[in-house]
Amino acid sequence: MTHRSVEVPVIARVEGEGALHITARDGEILDLRLEIYEPPRFFEAFLQGRSYAEVPDIVPRICGICPVAYQMSAIHGLERLFGVEVSPGTRELRRLLYCGEWIESHILHIFLLAAPDFLGYPNAIAMAKDHPELVRTALDIKRIGNDIMELIGGREIHPVSPRVGGFSRAARRRDLEPLLPRLEWALSEMPAIADVVASLPRPLLPREVEMVSMVNPDEYPINEGDLASTAGRRFDAATFEAVSREEHVAHSNALHSLMADTGTPYFVGPLARVNLNAERLTPVAKEVARRAGLSVPETDPFFSMAARAAEATLAIEESIRLIQAYVPPEPPMAEVVPRAGRATWVTEAPRGILYHRYDVGEDGTILEAKIVPPTSQNLRHMEEDLRNFVPGVLDRPDEELRRLCEMVVRNYDPCISCATHFLTLDIERR
Amino acid sequence: MSESGKPRVAVFKMASCDGCQLQLLDAEEALLDIAGAIDIVNFAEASSDLQPGPYDVTLVEGSMSTPEQLEQIAQIRRDTRFLITIGACATSGGVQALRNLEDLGTFVEAVYPRPEFVESLATSTPIADHVKVDLEITGCPIDRGQLLGALSSLLSGVVPRLSTAPVCIECKRRGFVCVMVVKGEPCLGPSVRTGCGAICPGFGRGCYGCFGPSQPPNTDALGKRFIELGLTPKQTSDTFRFITGWAPAFREAAEAFGDGDGRKEEEVRTP
């Protein structure tokens, strides 16, 4: 019998802290656990008793990488409960703000977090020594995403202007117009970036999965839409907790999501969105998906990087369109009168669907909050991926096996800070 | 110093959102320039090459909130010459310090179906409560300019100093309209230290305290003004008890103006 043991104390280049434990005997997985030791921060608990108006300032603190996603799920849900109608300008400015976050987050992940894996570097700085132009281009594109967030939100991390009802101040056309030539440049660079993504040596992990994302007949979904799955489900945010249930496992400070009826895991994020919304990708985004080797249906999670490249392109094209057509909302804030009830909403965070639910008192006080981030929805699916992937590579040397396992996890761009509200690898091969 | 003669820099996190260390990744061009002047030898969010100490400079984000972290920070301190804590979590416990006034068991039960699986301290506290800290950079998130400025100062052998003047000074300098005077909107600007560039008043809303108390904090006068503007005692208390609400000056103000259902400071034991 072959007993082997491998350890990775911290899985690097993911947001937050976690560890992976695998025990294998004769090529068979005996035990596999993604351990989330990122400390719990109890957001849902201390939201209780605070005013609805403070929620857009509290929830972005769950995640520095996707603060806008947290603000948008909360704000839309509370506005629906309160019956607030926002102007078209507010709606468009929110989509633009979110596009900034998609560009920033996707490019950060492709080039600073994931690409070094595929090319065998410990980090992007080492990668930059051999590929200076590529890293420079990526950082410049990422900067555009950051600048969109800063111009609209005041700052890219934890923006200050998004409020329930609109924006405390709406960006002016002249603030946004200087972005246009930079966005046009970024768009012209994306096909070449798709070729780089296509050229990266990619492990294979073909398997049957159920993917879930928002769908919207009118546009690629970000802020608005129903939920759908590749297994034919269709539901909306109000029934989310009936469709998806959470399970608390001993090794994780993040809850695991499962389909309530089948008890099976599901997969959210860029690849799910592309699969369910491919026809609504913008023209250059379709070209980028094709050049990156992605055609739907595609369920291999190693195509997530190609999906991110396509979506970053979509976000660039959408930003150009939104800025060209932008009419500032006047006034920037709609009147908000709180009422008692249950607010629910889902938006598409860069990493997948982000569900918020708030039970609100008649004066607008938050009585109870529930937040289900994309990473915790994906955790069980990540474990399943590893169960499928690891037996095929158990013969590899320790260092390589560890790197491959990290790559499987990193396909999900896991944001562990979010999921606990992630990774050390410890492989025991007996 | 590493073999290259450059200072060895490490970045760690405790309980936090990763936003402050992301400011380092978001520094893009400056990051590549700084990378030429220092060796970042341990930065898990950015690199899989994680080297053990000693470190010349260590940046730590996040608050102390689990028993393991208490051991980890003690080791980091032993390994580090100059320890910089970054962000509201590391310097005042962060927004998650809102739990410090509640019973942890209730909180765990509110979030987790199986509370027995969760290991957490009763409080979320700043790092300086536990080990000696050489420089605190406040903010939620920290300002990139302040971080890069502090690193540059250190590289040239100067111990960095950060302003503790209030946001109001910056707000006036930038010519923003005072939201409290003109719109009657509560603003923490008179009591919060500058660093953000007064972005909230610049975006037509009141400051909500990301950078912590200014010196002096002048919270008495400000809290009275909030009451005059029509805020209830709870609303006034909540305004102080927010992103940096566990900073002593704001904790005291929240208690002074609050409706008294929060526990007193001395009843909350810091481990």
Is the CB of B45 less than 8 angstroms away from the CB of A15? yes
CA gap A212, A353 in Å, rounded: 8
In order of start, what are the domains of chain B with their CATH numbers?
Answer: 8-155 (3.40.50.700), 167-267 (no CATH)
Q: Which residue has the higher pLDDT, A256 or A295?
A: A295
Looking at residue B104, its pLDDT comes to 63
Q: Which of A45, A57, A108 sits opposite B208 (nearest CB)?
A: A57
Looking at residue B261, its pLDDT comes to 38
Is the CB of A163 less than 8 angstroms away from the CB of B205? yes
* Least reliable range by pLDDT among A183-197, A249-263, B126-140: A249-263
pLDDT in tens, B31-62: 667 767 888 888 877 777 788 989 999 999 99
Which chain B residue is nearest to residue A163, measuring alpha carbons?
Answer: B205
Q: How far is B148 from chain A (nearest CA, A)?
A: 17
Q: Check if A179 contacts B (Cβ < 8 Å).
A: no
Residue B270 has pLDDT above 50, yes or no: no
Looking at residue A30, its pLDDT comes to 85
Rounded (10°) CA dihedral A197, A200, A205, A209: -10
Looking at residue A397, its pLDDT comes to 86
Q: Which residue has the higher pLDDT, B194 or B106?
A: B194
Looking at residue B122, its pLDDT comes to 77
Beta bridge partners of A361: none
Is the CB of B49 less than 8 angstroms away from the CB of A54? no
Beta bridge partners of A228: A213, A234
ipTM reported for the complex, 2 dp: 0.91
Residues of chain B contacting residue A246, judged by C-beta atoms under 8 Å apart: 113
Looking at residue B192, its pLDDT comes to 98
Residues of chain B contacting residue A332, judged by C-beta atoms under 8 Å apart: 204
Q: Which of A16, A37, A157 sits opposite B141 (nearest CB)?
A: A157
pLDDT confidence band for B264 (50 / 70 / 90): very low
CB B2 within 8 A of CB B39: yes
Among A155, A163, A252, A357, most B C-beta atoms within 10 A, so best to mutate, is A155
| B 99-138 near A (Cβ less than 8 A) | 99, 102, 106-108, 110-114, 117-118, 120, 124
- Tell me the average pLDDT across B250-265: 71
pLDDT in tens, B223-241: 999 999 999 999 999 999 9
- Kindly state the tokens that stand for A166: 């609109």
Which chain A residue is nearest to residue B47, measuring alpha carbons?
Answer: A123
In order of start, what are the domains of chain A with their CATH numbers?
Answer: 43-201+241-332+341-426 (1.10.645.10)
Winning range, highest mean pLDDT, from A2-11, B20-29, B138-147: B138-147
Give the β-pairing of A18-25 and A425-429.
parallel
Rounded (10°) CA dihedral A261, A265, A271, A274: 0
CA gap A56, B52 in Å, rounded: 39
* Cis before A373? omega within 30: no
Is the CB of B95 less than 8 angstroms away from the CB of A61? yes
SS3 assignment for chain A: CCEEEEEECCCCCCECCEEEEEEEECCEEEEEEEEECCCCCCHHHHCCCCEHHHHHHHHHHHCCCCHHHHHHHHHHHHHHHHCCCCCHHHHHHHHHHHHHHHHHHHHHHHHHHHHHHHHCCCEHHHHHHHCHHHHHHHHHHHHHHHHHHHHHHCCCCCCCCEECCEECCCCCHHHHCCHHHHHHHHHHHHHHHHHHHHHCCCCCCCCCCCEEEEECCCCCCCCCCEEEECCCCEECHHHHHHHEEEECCCCECCCEEEECCCCCCCEECHHHHHHHHHHHCCHHHHHHHHHCCCCCCCCCHHHHHHHHHHHHHHHHHHHHHHHHCCCCCCCCECCCCCCCEEEEEEEEECCEEEEEEEEECCCCEEEEEEEECHHHHHHHHHHHHHHHHHHHHCCCCHHHHHHHHHHHHHCCCCEHHHHCCCCCEEEEEC
Q: Check if B65 contacts A (Cβ < 8 Å).
A: yes
Residue A194 has pLDDT above 60, yes or no: yes
Residue B162 has pLDDT above 80, yes or no: yes
Q: How far is A161 from chain B (nearest CA, A)?
A: 6
Looking at residue B32, its pLDDT comes to 64
Q: Check if A57 contacts B (Cβ < 8 Å).
A: yes
Winning range, highest mean pLDDT, from A125-134, A304-313, A398-407: A304-313
Residues of chain A contacting residue B65, judged by C-beta atoms under 8 Å apart: 39-41
Which residue's structure tokens are 């309160």? A82
pLDDT in tens, B86-141: 999 999 999 999 988 776 666 666 666 666 556 667 789 999 999 999 999 999 99
Looking at residue B114, its pLDDT comes to 62
Q: How far is A84 from chain B (nearest CA, A)?
A: 20
Report which of A413, A316, A419 is spatially closest to residue A108, judged by C-alpha positions.
A413
Is the pTM higher than 0.90? The answer reads yes
Report which of B146, B52, B153 is spatially closest to residue B91, judged by C-alpha positions.
B146
Is the CB of A169 less than 8 angstroms away from the CB of B203? yes
Residues of chain A contacting residue B140, judged by C-beta atoms under 8 Å apart: 61, 158
Looking at residue A9, its pLDDT comes to 45
The separation between CA B249 and the C-alpha centre of its own chain, rounded to angstroms, equals 14
Please give the share of chain B, as a percent, with pLDDT higher than 70.
85
Is the CB of A67 less than 8 angstroms away from the CB of B205? no
How far is the first Cα of chain A from the last one, in angstroms, to the nearest whole number?
Answer: 7
Q: Which residue has the higher pLDDT, B68 or A80?
A: A80
Q: How many CB pairs under 8 A join A and B?
A: 185
Distances (CA, A) of A342 to A50, A266, A349: 15, 26, 22
The separation between CA A395 and the C-alpha centre of its own chain, rounded to angstroms, equals 33
Is the CB of A16 less than 8 angstroms away from the CB of B112? no
* Helix/strand/coil for B86: strand
Residues of chain B contacting residue A136, judged by C-beta atoms under 8 Å apart: 32
Q: Check if B25 contacts A (Cβ < 8 Å).
A: yes
Q: Check if A421 contacts B (Cβ < 8 Å).
A: yes
Q: How far is A120 from chain B (nearest CA, A)?
A: 11
Q: Which of B22, B40, B106 sits opposite A157 (nearest CB)?
A: B22
**Per-residue buried b or exposed e for A41-58, using 16+ beta carbons within 10 Å of the residue's own CB:** bbbbbbbbebbbebbbbb
CB B57 within 8 A of CB B154: yes
Looking at residue A117, its pLDDT comes to 78
Is the CB of B111 less than 8 angstroms away from the CB of A62? no
Residues of chain A contacting residue B204, judged by C-beta atoms under 8 Å apart: 161, 168-169, 332
What count of other Cβ atoms lies within 10 Å of the Cβ of residue B36?
Answer: 9
Q: Please give the DSSP secondary-structure letter assigned to residue B122.
A: S
Is the CB of A14 less than 8 angstroms away from the CB of B208? no
Q: Check if A42 contacts B (Cβ < 8 Å).
A: yes
Residues of chain B contacting residue A253, judged by C-beta atoms under 8 Å apart: 117-118
The sign one gets for the Cα dihedral B115, B121, B122, B127 is: negative
Among B6, B12, B17, most A C-beta atoms within 10 A, so best to mutate, is B17
Q: Check if A146 contacts B (Cβ < 8 Å).
A: yes
| B 154-213 near A (Cβ less than 8 A) | 196, 199-200, 202-205, 208, 210
**Per-residue buried b or exposed e for A207-216, using 16+ beta carbons within 10 Å of the residue's own CB:** eebbbbbbbb
Residue A96 has pLDDT above 60, yes or no: yes
CB A387 within 8 A of CB A394: no
pLDDT confidence band for A6 (50 / 70 / 90): very low
Q: Check if B248 contacts A (Cβ < 8 Å).
A: no
Residue B12 has pLDDT above 90, yes or no: yes
Q: Which residue has the higher pLDDT, B266 or A246?
A: A246
CB A57 within 8 A of CB B31: no
pLDDT in tens, A69-93: 999 999 999 999 999 999 999 999 9
Which residue's structure tokens are 């200076």? A132
Looking at residue A4, its pLDDT comes to 52
- Kindly state the tokens that stand for B177: 């309209």
* Helix/strand/coil for B56: strand
Please give the share of chain A, as a percent, with pLDDT higher than 70.
90
Report which of B182, B190, B186 is spatially closest to residue B211, judged by C-alpha positions.
B190
- Tell me the average pLDDT across B136-153: 93
Looking at residue B108, its pLDDT comes to 65
Q: Which of B66, B111, B205 sits opposite A39 (nearest CB)?
A: B66
What count of other Cβ atoms lies within 10 Å of the Cβ of residue A319?
Answer: 27
Cβ neighbours of residue B242 under 8 Å, at least 6 residues apart?
Answer: A54, A57, B95, B98, B208, B209, B250
Give the β-pairing of A366-372 and A244-247.
unpaired
- Kindly state the tokens that stand for A31: 């035990």
